A and B are shown apart, each in its own frame.
Chain A
């Protein structure tokens, strides 16, 4: 079964190794792992997806907490959440065959972010199944995929402010990043919900 954990960790050299090494030690395969800045300075956020027995969640979370650099762990599998992945897909396409790819991209609400004489690059965001759907139709349409780069799953629990963020804001000395960049992708919340539910 797939488990998804969100871990807030100290942003320091070697922390990723410690987390990855823990999974190796437990003999658990990491399916995807994304890391980036969180809303707190000096704190990185990881989303870890791994394949393990249904009962393994407790032990994984408990073991993650034993790492000194891990601040917070959420086993989000059971909780209502939004999951997203971003992929860049480079497809072989000449000026003649481009329009077919444009159409497919349109259906998936993907964007063309680069055009070259013999290829184009698609950017797509969504749940994994949506990305896999686009890859499948590209293959079925006979478009040759040259490269794929996927971020792996990122998740966030639903709700305006998680209790953790509120807590973080109240903790003296913890600076929150003041400016939130406006969402580049301005899909309406209802779209997102729909995308979640339909897998598109």
Chain B
């Protein structure tokens, strides 16, 4: 190969070019529009790494393959493009699994490439051989084993198609070492996959559309349930039109936050286990739920027996297997959400501008009592609450940052107190609830959107799961702001122990390293904050600093996320914040 870097344009007709499988891999990725991959090398993938220098693709070296998968995931969620992770065989491949499952549960388009031992020794327990396609079978949309150089381009191209199509998700391509080393003719265009078979059970017939429209026109107490699908299908405008035209309030799932502007008068906020009382109240009182790109997860429905008992349900969803899975619906529009809404909207004449909605007034009235309980309205008692931190972060960033959270209490506080106005500004592991997600996913998000401000919001527990990626952030010189919400506990576990296990705080107290010193060891600046007045200045310093910056927020140790609907209970059976009594101590007090 005499081609130098940037020399090839694989999309142009280059039939007859003979390349190695490794070169075909990169050329095909380039043709698919990939400009960055997240990975970690090793023996079985070394031929691919050796060929990388010839291609205009940036490789971000993570510190653990789980980080590569989360970074590719964060990249995909921030950009809407397919994220790519790459790892070696055996332990490299198995380290990807948590990240792949995270993407699967949240329908994130991702292609993972793993090296594999040579096809001649497949099945012999060769060094670092593991059946990664077997292992990832239930957590990928599909996966492939490639054993010949000529199959690399068609299979990679098909993998991208599968990852993007229908309900998106992760796809893994396992490429044997000899397939990377062998050579074949490369023709990008000829390697194009057959068009993807649409799921045959898609159904957006005009009868169902008309029936749905009729239900919407006649509803007295409708609620839109806004899910991740709105973001995946770019249907924000259509949802906004539907809500405004018919004056329908919008409740969001965790992954649906940002799909509808939080400051919009019709926005209710997050529903479900940690949703505000009025949101779940509205759902329970509703006579029509219009579920858009969401899947009635148990965290949003509570017990199904009493879920929205008086409501008819319209489910607009791209995955036919989700219909009637948890909640039996009256009308299902199965297909792309944006297309379905576009078919629906012409049948919905606008409500008159002066239309007075008793329903909206009823919801508004149910908000009043809650504000009194809201912790962020409390006078400064000398204690720092996580809610204060998130609230101040929201104000300081004007609600415009991309926030990447970890999993736990801080994640729920983020969802409650950071008001997301635009899609793809909240990146969080919803379905799998993967601790350790935030930092590596934020690395991916920052690389996808270098001009956007990106904040990590992580707990002291989860942060330590992937803290080694600080080193990646430093090496890549990423302008990343990292807020560790440090409560000295695996907080969400402690909260469950407090509520349901008689405060038996078994294995939830957590001693952490000094996160600022840890940052410094990586050449990263940081500061510790333990008092409310220090919050805003610290955020300002972090924002002004070029490069990664860590803020260690020492917050109230034994605070809980309210309200909370215990698992398996009905949406109205919630635990409320007790009348405030200033809690014991912050992690900073000794």
A residues adjacent to B (C-beta < 8 A): 14, 17-18, 21, 25, 55, 58-59, 61-63, 65-68, 71-73
Contact = CB atoms under 8 A, between A and B. Distances in A.
Nearest to A25: B138
B497 to A, nearest CB: 29
B330 to A, nearest CB: 15
A63 B321 contact: yes
Interface in B233-270: none
B175 to A, nearest CB: 16
Contacts of A67: 142
Nearest to A69: B142
A68 B201 contact: no
B201 A62 contact: yes
A59 B324 contact: yes
Contacts of B325: 59
Contacts of B319: 62, 66
Given A68-B142, A68-B162, A62 B137 contact: no
A68 B199 CA distance: 10
B176 to A, nearest CB: 14
B323 interface: yes
Interface string B133-147: 110011001100000
A58 B324 contact: yes
A65 B324 contact: no
Contact of B199 (A25, A65, A72): A65
B320 interface: yes
Contacts of B323: 58, 62
Please give me the 3 A-B residue pairs with the lowest Cβ-Cβ distance, nearest first. A62-B321, A62-B320, A68-B142
Interface in B322-341: 323-325
Contacts of B197: 71
Nearest to A73: B200
Most chain B CB inside 10 Å of its own CB: which residue of A18, A65, A67: A65
Nearest to A26: B321
B201 A61 contact: yes
Interface residues on B, range: 10 to 19
Contacts of B320: 58, 62, 65
Given A59-B321, A63-B321, A21 B200 contact: no
A21 B201 CA distance: 21
Contacts of A58: 320, 323-324
27 contacts: A17-B134, A17-B137, A18-B137, A25-B138, A55-B324, A58-B320, A58-B323, A58-B324, A59-B324, A59-B325, A61-B201, A62-B199, A62-B201, A62-B320, A65-B199, A65-B200, A65-B201, A65-B320, A66-B141, A66-B199, A66-B319, A66-B321, A68-B141, A68-B142, A68-B162, A71-B197, A72-B200
A61 B325 CA distance: 13
Chain A binding surface, main DSSP class: helix
B133 A14 contact: yes
A62 B321 CA distance: 5
A68 B201 CA distance: 14
Nearest to A64: B321
Nearest to A14: B133
Contacts of B162: 68
Most buried by B among A18, A58, A66, A73: A66
A17 B134 CA distance: 9
A67 B240 CA distance: 34
A58 B321 CA distance: 8
Contacts of B138: 21, 25
A96 B141 CA distance: 61
Contacts of B201: 61-62, 65
B318 to A, nearest CB: 11
A24 to B, nearest CB: 8
A171 to B, nearest CB: 13
Nearest to B197: A71
Nearest to B324: A58
Contacts of A59: 321, 324-325
Name the residue among A58, A61, A62 with the largest chain B CB count within 10 angstroms. Answer: A62
B492 to A, nearest CB: 27
A71 B200 CA distance: 9
Nearest to A21: B137
Interface string B152-184: 000000000010000000000000000000000
A17 B138 CA distance: 11
A162 B16 CA distance: 44
A11 to B, nearest CB: 16
A133 to B, nearest CB: 38
Interface in B118-146: 133-134, 137-138, 141-142
Interface in B495-517: none
B117 to A, nearest CB: 17
Interface string B176-200: 0000000000000000000001011
Given A63-B321, A66-B319, 11 more contacts: A14-B133, A21-B137, A55-B324, A58-B324, A62-B319, A62-B320, A62-B323, A65-B199, A65-B201, A66-B321, A72-B200
Interface in B414-469: none
Nearest to A67: B142
Contacts of A68: 141-142, 162
A166 B138 CA distance: 34
A66 B199 CA distance: 7
Contacts of A72: 200
Nearest to B162: A68
A18 B197 CA distance: 18
A93 B474 CA distance: 81
Contacts of A55: 324
Contacts of A65: 199-201, 320
A174 to B, nearest CB: 13
A17 B162 CA distance: 19
Contacts of A21: 137-138
A66 B137 CA distance: 13
Contacts of A61: 201
A63 B324 CA distance: 13
A71 to B, nearest CB: 8
A198 B196 CA distance: 45
A146 to B, nearest CB: 35
A71 B194 CA distance: 14
Identify which of A55, A63, A71 gathers the most chain B CB atoms within 10 Å of its CB: A63
A173 B133 CA distance: 30
Contacts of B137: 17-18, 21
A104 to B, nearest CB: 46
A79 B291 CA distance: 32
A65 B202 CA distance: 11
Contacts of B324: 55, 58-59
Contacts of A17: 134, 137
B413 to A, nearest CB: 33
